[in-house]
């Protein structure tokens, strides 16, 4: 089966309305909205590295899109469209049907169009998605804006996906296979959050990127971490490892002034927000539990471990 036949059969659903030219030519054409900046990111998923080999094709398709939309959300931007580059060892029509449906199900839920890409044969299943979005000029929420006295907050729960990975078949595996990009929340935080990042490699490691960019430190209250009741039942040290270092949460971690935090709580939010700590002067991340220092050695996901 030729490359273009695969594209026509599985990846050419013309459902978008504001793309000047989509799939079918050498490149896609998009007309930028007035006074908007383009936000663009890319992620690669490799079979056996970023998802278990027996993960369903539909879940792989969904996650390939979702992890990129999470990066767009972390800038406060509105997602618009994606490009898909797919390397396949063999042509498996049942797999392609499920995978493409997962792609489109995620795109449709978040108002995103698949507008182009590339398909080729390779030794390993490899998926690269490039996502694009728009934000008003100068309004992007960066990692470098955290200030001493800001609250540190996180959306949803942390540690679910990591627990699901280690306990395949548990209900929390769904959080691993089908992460939810916080697109609406990201846009609601625009103009309120002082810095933001999405949690892909573990809360502690990703928060560390904010601290480094902002030249500040943070103190986290372990008892405030929003975790599933399943994690409440395991030993503390293991619990914190899942919550702080597990990765694949794709929740938003952000800093915000106390005043803006109160404003945020007045909005109609689609996900729970938890204040888990505070930005401090010392340029390091420390932990507290029930009012006492709690030393922890935390290491997030390492891409070249």
Annotated binding site for Mg(2+): 26, 43, 71, 118, 198, 201
The answer to whether the beta carbons of residues 193 and 77 sit under 8 Å apart is: no
Going by C-alpha positions, the residue among 165, 197, 171, 169 that lies closest to residue 182 is 197
Strands (E), the chain: 36-46, 78-88, 113-121, 126-136, 151-155, 193-198, 217-221, 252-256, 273-280, 285-289, 292-293
Binding-site residues for ATP: 117-118, 143, 200
Rounded CA-CA distance 9/190 in Å is 39
Rounded (10°) angle between helices 93-109 and 57-73: 30
What are the two backbone dihedrals, phi and then psi, of residue 183, each rounded to the nearest 5 degrees?
A: -65, -45
What is the residue whose two structure tokens read 């991340």?
285
Binding-site residues: 26, 43, 50, 71, 117-118, 143, 198, 200-201, 248, 301
Binding-site residues for substrate: 50, 248, 301
Residues contacting residue 72 through CB under 8 Å, at least 6 positions apart: 39, 41, 78, 79, 131, 132, 133, 181, 183, 186
* Adjacent-strand bridge partners of 199: none
* Adjacent-strand bridge partners of 132: 40, 81
């Amino acid at each position: 089966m030729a490359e273009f036949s695969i594209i026509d059969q599985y990846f050419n659903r013309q459902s978008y309305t504001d793309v000047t030219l989509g799939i079918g030519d050498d490149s896609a054409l998009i007309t930028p909205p007035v006074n908007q900046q383009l936000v663009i990111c890319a992620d690669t998923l490799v079979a056996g590295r970023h998802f278990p080999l027996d993960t369903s094709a539909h879940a792989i398709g969904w996650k390939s899109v979702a992890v990129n939309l999470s990066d767009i959300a972390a800038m406060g931007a509105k997602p618009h469209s994606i490009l898909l580059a797919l390397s396949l060892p063999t042509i498996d029509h049942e797999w392609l049907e499920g995978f493409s449906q997962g792609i489109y199900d995620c795109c449709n839920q978040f108002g995103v169009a698949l507008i182009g890409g590339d398909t080729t044969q390779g030794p390993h299943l490899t998926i690269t998605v490039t996502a694009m979005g728009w934000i008003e000029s100068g309004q992007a929420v960066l990692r470098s804006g955290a200030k001493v006295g800001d609250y540190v907050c996180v959306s949803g729960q942390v540690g679910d996906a990591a627990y699901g990975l280690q306990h395949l078949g548990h209900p929390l595996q769904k959080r691993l296979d089908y992460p939810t990009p916080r697109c609406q929340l990201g846009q609601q935080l625009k103009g309120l959050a002082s810095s933001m990042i999405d949690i892909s490699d573990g809360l502690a490691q990703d928060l560390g990127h904010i601290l480094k960019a902002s030249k500040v430190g943070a103190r986290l209250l372990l008892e405030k971490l929003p975790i599933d009741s399943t994690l409440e039942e395991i030993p503390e040290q293991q619990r914190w490892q899942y919550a702080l270092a597990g990765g694949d949460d794709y929740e938003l971690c952000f800093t915000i002034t106390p005043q803006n935090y109160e404003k945020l709580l007045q909005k109609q939010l689609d996900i729970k927000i938890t204040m888990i700590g505070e930005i401090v002067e010392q340029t390091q991340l420390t932990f507290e539990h029930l009012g006492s220092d709690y030393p922890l050695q935390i290491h997030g996901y390492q891409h070249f471990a």
